[in-house]
């Protein structure tokens, strides 16, 4: 296509933080026929986004390094995801960073061209026509596809007469993708099979594998993707799709290896980091899930992909880790909850995080053996959301609320919410992340059930030991039971009395004082704490432990 057929009617955007490059690019584009008023500039991502909201660009040049905040990859990702670039806009990457990571990362965003700095006029003149040609010839097709008018796309391709073989292949591939969107998988496969081995082979194979996933032909999909492992521009996408195919077969360990490979090849795609978090959750590897969450947040910094739910999920996983840990480990895990809260408070508005924060700190206080504070925060949560018209909790919020209910002994509310969560996750489209999250929730519930069963057994055995007057062994068992249950008030009641007779083996006075205070705190809202029996036991323990604060009378706690 000769240069006089370039579309000079639509403006061009040059995104670069260097004023020198912007000036040089302006001069070169003017020599190629663009009028000065049609050349727009942005020195960072925020300015580029604003310009794209207000202009219909036909050509954009993106630099990778845009200063200390969002980089070129993050900018294109946001513009494409939010539909701020015209479907037929030609996107050209111009950067001095030619490292494999940067190149592969940009290729995943399907740019129309890639140019290395320092850019000169001769190179631009020779290559620009080739970069924009495909978008120009397929302009209408791309626009209809972006509008999701897939039947119009299919009709246009069937009625078109393209002369260039490359354009024909590209159009046929878009037709196949339109058929996939319409659920016509067999027809799409027939189109794609004829395109294998073409210049579009990588995308063709990926689409064939996606069809295999849709039609539950998982082994066929994995077989198709294997050759793409050596394709430098499609290996990461192939590894990600392999992970999805393995999740569909409940092969979470294999899926995790796939997604690790995808991230190693091209780490900028946040969706992959999120899937890695979900896979570690599905395998109930909480330390790795937390570590993966931190990596996801770090990679998403300065981009629109950095979201509040990332931080809240990290805090939720820390609470899970604490809930299933020993007493000493639990307190260590809970000590970092405040740091997560500090992070989201610094980045997001209070109205966005307040409700979930109340629930997270409610569970945290229950796990610290302060159910009274936990109940107070739950009530504050209910009051807070009641004052927000049409309030709809997020999925994470529903999960956290269900756990607070469970720990506080509200079994019916817990069951009701759990059923809602399961129904929500199983709705179509039933995604890979949904499957992983369901597996995680199932494992969480199983661990809770096992903890509860263990606590019941410990209490039963302790009662037998109390009858046999083996108070030391009974106190040890009841102390362990206290670490695994949070709602059975009979355990702290029994333990408080047993401590007047004997303490757990090798426990210091300090340890026993803390244990007695935990029992007292958990019993705070019960009738027992106002009884003469409790007052008498308190005075005995206060004398034995030389700790006057334990000598509480019924009148002091009422």
Q: Determine the straight-line distance between the first and last CA of the chain, rounded to whole angstroms.
A: 89
- Is pLDDT larger for residue 385 or for residue 232? 385
| Residue 528, C-beta contacts closer than 8 angstroms, at least 6 positions apart | 489, 493, 534
**In the Cβ-directed half-sphere of 492, how many Cα atoms lie within 13 Å?**
27
pLDDT of 450 higher than 60: yes
- Average pLDDT in the 171-191 region? 97
pLDDT value at position 327?
A: 76
- Average pLDDT in the 94-113 region? 82
Residues 475, 164: Cα–Cα separation, whole Å: 84
- Average pLDDT in the 15-25 region? 92
DSSP string covering 369-437, please? Answer: T-HHHHHHHHHHHHHHHHTSTT----HHHHHHHHHHHHHTT-HHHHHHHHHHHHHHHHSSS--HHHHHH
Of the listed ranges 192-196, 198-202, 442-446, 514-518, the least confidently predicted one is 514-518
| C-alpha torsion angle, residues 395, 400, 405, 408 (rounded to 10) | 180
Residues 106, 167: Cα–Cα separation, whole Å: 22
Of the listed ranges 1-10, 169-178, 520-529, the least confidently predicted one is 1-10
CB 208, CB 188: distance < 8 Å: no
Nearest to 16 by CA among 60, 66, 58: 66
pLDDT of 117 higher than 90: no
Report how far apart, in Å, the C-alpha atoms of 125 and of each of 5, 120, 131, 139, 164 are. Answer: 13, 9, 11, 22, 21
Cis bond upstream, residue 118 (ω within 30)? yes
| C-alpha torsion angle, residues 220, 239, 132, 88 (rounded to 10) | 80
What angle do the packed helices 308-323 and 350-367 form, to 10 degrees? 0
**Going along 30-159, which residue ranges are E strands?**
39-42, 59-62, 90-95, 113-116
- For residue range 227-239, what is the model confidence (pLDDT) as tens digits? 999 898 899 999 9
Map tokens 């610094």 to a residue.
346
- pLDDT, averaged across the chain: 92
pLDDT value at position 554?
A: 40
φ/ψ of residue 370, rounded to 5: -125, 65
Residues 523, 496: Cα–Cα separation, whole Å: 10
CB 357, CB 277: distance < 8 Å: no
| Residue 437, C-beta contacts closer than 8 angstroms, at least 6 positions apart | 278, 281, 282, 425
CB 381, CB 362: distance < 8 Å: yes
Residues 80, 84: Cα–Cα separation, whole Å: 6
CB 102, CB 64: distance < 8 Å: yes
pLDDT value at position 495?
A: 94
Instruction: Using pLDDT thresholds of 50, 70 and 90, give the confidence band for residue 552.
Output: low
- Average pLDDT in the 302-307 region? 95
CB 101, CB 267: distance < 8 Å: yes
pLDDT of 6 higher than 80: no
**Going along 242-301, which residue ranges are E strands?**
none
Question: Looking at the DSSP assignment, which residues form a beta bridge with residue 92?
Answer: 61, 113
Residues shown for the chain: 558
pLDDT value at position 173?
A: 97
| pTM attached to this predicted model | 0.88
Per residue, what are the HEC states of 179-190? HHHCCCHHHHHH
Residues 396, 425: Cα–Cα separation, whole Å: 12
What angle do the packed helices 490-498 and 532-545 form, to 10 degrees? 50
- For residue range 218-270, what is the model confidence (pLDDT) as tens digits? 999 999 999 999 898 899 999 999 999 999 999 999 999 999 999 999 999 99
CB 293, CB 277: distance < 8 Å: yes
pLDDT value at position 5?
A: 58
- For residue range 58-90, what is the model confidence (pLDDT) as tens digits? 999 999 888 778 888 999 999 999 999 999 999
pLDDT value at position 555?
A: 43
CB 474, CB 498: distance < 8 Å: yes
């Amino acid at each position: 296509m000769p240069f006089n057929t370039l579309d000079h009617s639509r403006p061009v955007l040059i995104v670069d933080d260097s004023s020198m490059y912007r000036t040089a690019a302006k001069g070169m584009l003017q020599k190629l026929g663009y009028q000065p008023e049609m050349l727009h500039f942005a020195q960072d991502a925020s300015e580029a986004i604003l310009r794209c909201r207000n202009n219909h660009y036909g050509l954009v040049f993106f630099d990778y390094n845009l200063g200390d905040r969002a980089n070129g990859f993050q900018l294109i990702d946001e513009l494409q995801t939010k539909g701020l670039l015209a479907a037929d806009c030609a996107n050209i990457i111009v950067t001095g960073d030619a490292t494999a990571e940067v190149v592969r990362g940009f290729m995943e965003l399907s740019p129309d061209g890639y140019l290395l700095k320092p850019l000169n006029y001769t190179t631009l003149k020779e290559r620009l026509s080739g970069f924009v040609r495909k978008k120009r010839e397929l302009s209408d097709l791309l626009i209809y596809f972006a509008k999701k008018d897939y039947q119009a796309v299919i009709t246009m391709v069937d009625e078109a007469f393209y002369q260039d073989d490359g354009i024909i292949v590209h159009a046929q591939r878009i037709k196949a993708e339109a058929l996939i969107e319409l659920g016509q998988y067999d027809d799409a496969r027939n189109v794609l099979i004829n395109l294998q081995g073409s210049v579009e082979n990588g995308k063709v194979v990926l689409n064939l594998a996606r069809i295999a996933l849709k039609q539950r032909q998982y082994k066929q999909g994995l077989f198709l993707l294997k050759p793409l492992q050596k394709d430098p521009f499609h290996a990461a996408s192939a590894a990600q799709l392999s992970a999805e195919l393995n999740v569909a077969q409940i092969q979470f360990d294999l899926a995790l290896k796939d997604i690790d490979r995808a991230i190693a090849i091209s780490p900028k795609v946040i969706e992959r980091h999120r899937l890695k978090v979900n896979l570690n959750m599905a395998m109930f590897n909480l330390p790795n899930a937390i570590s993966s969450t931190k990596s996801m947040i770090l990679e998403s910094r300065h981009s629109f992909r950095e979201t509040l739910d990332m931080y809240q999920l990290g805090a939720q996983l820390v609470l899970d880790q604490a809930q299933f840990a020993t007493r000493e480990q639990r307190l260590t895990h809970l000590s970092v909850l405040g740091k997560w809260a500090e992070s989201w408070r610094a980045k997001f508005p209070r109205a966005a995080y307040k409700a979930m924060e109340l629930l997270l700190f409610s569970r945290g206080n229950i796990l610290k053996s302060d159910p009274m504070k936990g109940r107070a925060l739950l009530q504050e949560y209910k009051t807070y959301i009641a004052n927000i018209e049409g309030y709809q909790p997020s999925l994470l919020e529903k999960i956290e609320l269900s756990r607070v209910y469970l720990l506080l002994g509200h079994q019916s509310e817990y069951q009701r919410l759990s059923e809602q969560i399961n129904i929500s996750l199983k709705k179509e489209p039933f995604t890979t992340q949904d499957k992983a999250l369901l597996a995680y929730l199932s494992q969480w519930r199983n661990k809770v059930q096992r903890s509860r069963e263990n606590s019941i057994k410990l209490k039963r055995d302790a009662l037998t030991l109390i009858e046999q007057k083996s108070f030391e062994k009974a106190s040890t068992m009841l102390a362990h039971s206290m670490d695994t249950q949070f709602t059975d008030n009979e355990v702290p009641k029994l333990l408080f009395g047993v401590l007047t007779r004997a303490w757990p083996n090798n426990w210091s006075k300090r340890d026993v004082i803390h244990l007695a205070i935990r029992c007292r705190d958990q019993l705070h809202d019960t009738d027992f704490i106002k009884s003469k029996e409790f007052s008498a036991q308190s005075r005995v323990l206060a004398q034995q432990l030389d700790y006057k604060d334990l000598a509480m009378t019924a009148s002091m706690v009422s």
